[in-house]
Amino acid sequence: MSTKLFSPWSLKGVTLKNRIVMSPMCMYSSSDRDGTLKPFHFAHYVSRAQGQAGLIMVEASAVSPEGRISDQDLGIWSDEHIEGFASLNEQIKAYGTKTAIQLAHAGRKAELDGDILAPSSIPFDEQSKTPVEMSLGQIKNTIQAFQDAALRAKKAGFDIIEIHGAHGYLINEFLSPLSNHRTDEYGGSPENRYRFLKEVIDAVNEVWDGPLFVRVSASDYTTKGLDITDYIGIATWLKEQGVDLIDVSSGAVVQARIHTFPGYQVSFAEKIKEGAGIQTGAVGLITSGIQAEEILQNHRADLIFIGREFLRDPYFPKTAAKELRTSIEGPRQYDRAW
């Protein structure tokens, strides 16, 4: 059977052999607490490349030390991080898989010693540390940190960059009125709350001309927060800035109940694709080839991000191909089994 899941996807000179993306997943395993890759990371990512993912998105990697969620996050805040990522890229690409990195800043969700930063001095919840409201100088430095990280990602040979604008981390905190109570040009109106992300993208665009993705949380799941309609507007602005694809997740700006079910975020990806006329990635409880194929064939999204299923099955693409009654090539060494 000819499938859409196993058809190539191309943009700006980068071609993925299929539409399966390994979703970014923090492994909290940089055990020297300096942001560097460990043998675990190589085995973890390269095995999914052997498993034939079209694209591997390396987990949220911090653009500055205070932007880590934990002190064992990966980092890309120093030129010393380039070599490790370059080696990882080379090893992944040996299997015909393309690579991306998610550039991140945890904002008020950082669980670290010392000051943590946010648009406003409002803690995430009662157990969380109260963040410092960012000064204009700190905003400028953080935008610069995203640009420096993008340049390092380029030097390390990544094919695609994704900016982490979801899950209640720094960029999402600026976007949402629940976490952004600023009264300067970075708060108040939707345009002002978008300004931080806008400037991050402008800064990244100065040093990066490859495909650019942004992950968003398309709903805050509370009445006073942002919802999918707001995000169709934001996606329109992102498109105007040259962003190529919106990776559509949801939630986690504040504690809120999320009703989950198979494909629970797909309708958000579909609405953004339709409403803003931009490519989207669907993610969230997508666990089978048939489910992924349905999403693509019905034009609900362009790429399928697989998170936890890839942690259960590094050969998910092979499993999905079998389910869709097609076959894919594996590593040459596995020919006798595949």
Ligand X SMILES: Cc1cc2nc3c(=O)[nH]c(=O)nc-3n(C[C@H](O)[C@H](O)[C@H](O)COP(=O)(O)O)c2cc1C
Q: Which residues would be at the binding site for ligand X (CB under 6 A)?
A: 23-26, 59-60, 102, 164, 166-167, 215, 249, 283-286, 306-309
SS (H, E, C) the chain: CCCCCCCCEEECCEEECCCEEECCCCCCCCCCCCCCCCHHHHHHHHHHHHCCCCEEEEEEEECCHHHCCCCCCEECCCHHHHHHHHHHHHHHHCCCCEEEEEEECCHHHCCCCCCCEECCCCCCCCCCCCCEECCHHHHHHHHHHHHHHHHHHHHCCCCEEEEEECCCCHHHHHHCCCCCCCCCCCCCCHHHHHHHHHHHHHHHHHHCCCCEEEEEECCCCCCCCCCHHHHHHHHHHHHHCCCCEEEEECCCCCCCCCCCCCCCCHHHHHHHHHHHCCEEEEECCCCCHHHHHHHHHCCCCCEEEECHHHHHCCCHHHHHHHHCCCCCCCCHHHCCCC
Residue whose CB is less far from ligand X, 46 or 214: 214
Residue whose CB is less far from ligand X, 166 or 226: 166
Residue whose CB is less far from ligand X, 182 or 306: 306
Residue whose CB is less far from ligand X, 163 or 178: 163
Residue whose CB is less far from ligand X, 212 or 283: 283
Q: Which residue is nearest to ligand X (CB)?
A: 307
CB of 274 to ligand X, least distance (A): 21
CB of 166 to ligand X, least distance (A): 6
Residue whose CB is less far from ligand X, 109 or 273: 109
CB of 267 to ligand X, least distance (A): 15
CB of 261 to ligand X, least distance (A): 11
Residue whose CB is less far from ligand X, 294 or 309: 309
Query: Backbone dihedral region of 294: left (phi > 0), alpha (psi from -120 to 50 degrees) or beta?
Result: alpha
CB of 165 to ligand X, least distance (A): 9
CB of 128 to ligand X, least distance (A): 18
CB of 310 to ligand X, least distance (A): 8
Query: Backbone dihedral region of 77: left (phi > 0), alpha (psi from -120 to 50 degrees) or beta?
Result: alpha
Residue whose CB is less far from ligand X, 106 or 321: 106
CB of 41 to ligand X, least distance (A): 13
